[in-house]
Amino acid sequence: MVFRFFKKEDKEQQTHSTSLTHIFQPEGSAQTDAKLVQIIAHLDECKSNDFNYLVEKLVQRLGFDTQIIDGIHDSGIDIIGFQQQKKVLAVQCKAWNPKRNTNPLDKKEVLAFKGKTMSDGYENSLFVTTHYFTKPALDEASDNFFLIDRRILHDLLATYFPKEFSEAFYYETLKELKACPTCQKGKLIRLYSKNKRTYYTLCERCQGYHPCS
Ligand SMILES: [Zn+2]
C-alpha cells in the first residue's frame, strides 16, 4: 500500500483524535499531472519545450500568469511572467545534462540574458537550468536576478510539485523492474509461491498478477 502525506488544516481535530487517518490517506494518483511526472523523472532526456512546460508550471505556482515565447522571438527569454497583466518576470530555460555536457553556464550567457531583460525593463529575472553555473556567473545574481541551478531546481520541484516529485522518485527506485503489461504504468514485483513452487509477479499499481516471463 502506498500512502501520501496529507496536511490537515484542522488543528483541533488533530489534538482530540488518536486516529492517524488525518496523516495517512490512500494515494490519489489521479491527482498528479502525468506529463509533469514524466518530465521530472526524465529531466535530462527532456526536450527544450518539455523543460519550458515544467518551468512554466513552476512559475505559475509561484503566482504568475505566464506566456511561453520560445521560438517566436530569439531573445533569450523563453517565458514571460505577468502580474495584473503587467510583464514583471523574464525567464530563460536551459535543459543541459551535466552527465553529458561538460560546459556549465558561464558569465557570458548570464550577462547576455541580464542585458536583454534590463533593456526590456523587467523587474525580475530567472535563469533556470538542469546544469550548473560557473562562479563568475553566480556573482551576477542579485535580489531581482535569480540563478536556479540543478540543486535549487530540485528543491523547488519538491516544494511546489510534491506529489509529482514523489511519484517520479518512487518509480526511480523501481526503475530496474519490468512495466506491467495490464496497466502499463505500474512495475512488476517478483514473488514466490510456496504452494505452486513457482515465481510470479504482482503489479504494485493495479495489483494484477502475471506469470514470470
Ligand atoms: Zn499494473
Q: Which positions ≥6 away from 212 have C-beta within 8 Å?
A: 190, 198, 199, 200, 201
pLDDT of residue 21: 75
Whether the pTM exceeds 0.85: the reply is no
pLDDT of residue 3: 40
CA of 199 to the centre of ligand 1 (A): 17
CA of 209 to the centre of ligand 1 (A): 8
pLDDT of residue 211: 82
Q: Which positions ≥6 away from 95 have C-beta within 8 Å?
A: 43, 44, 46, 47, 48, 50, 51, 129, 130
CA of 2 to the centre of ligand 1 (A): 14
- CA distance linking residue 9 with residue 35, whole number of Å: 29
pLDDT of residue 24: 73
Q: List 142's β-bridge partners, or say none.
A: 145
- Residue ranges of the chain with pLDDT lower than 70? 1-17, 22, 25-30, 70-75, 213
Residue 54 and residue 156 in contact, taking contact as beta carbons nearer than 8 Å: no
Q: Where are the domains of the chain?
A: 1-28, 32-173, 177-213
pLDDT of residue 148: 97
CA of 183 to the centre of ligand 1 (A): 4
SS (H, E, C) the chain: CCEEECCCCCHHHHHHCCCCCCCEEECCHHHCCHHHHHHHHCCCCCCHHHHHHHHHHHHHHCCCEEEECCCCCCCCCCEEEEECCEEEEEEEEECCCCCCCCCCECHHHHHHHHHHHHHCCCCEEEEEECCCECHHHHCCCECCEEEECHHHHHHHHHHHCHHHHHHHHHHHHCCCCCECCCCCCCEEEEEEECCCCEEEEEECCCCCEEECC
CA of 59 to the centre of ligand 1 (A): 34
| Closest residue by Cα to residue 166 from 177, 151, 154, 178 | 154
CA of 210 to the centre of ligand 1 (A): 9
Cα dihedral across residues 27, 28, 32, 38: positive or negative = positive
pLDDT of residue 2: 41
pLDDT of residue 186: 93
Residue 212 and residue 199 in contact, taking contact as beta carbons nearer than 8 Å: yes
CA of 90 to the centre of ligand 1 (A): 42
**Alpha-carbon 89 to chain mean position:** 20
Which CATH number is 32-173 given?
3.40.1350.10
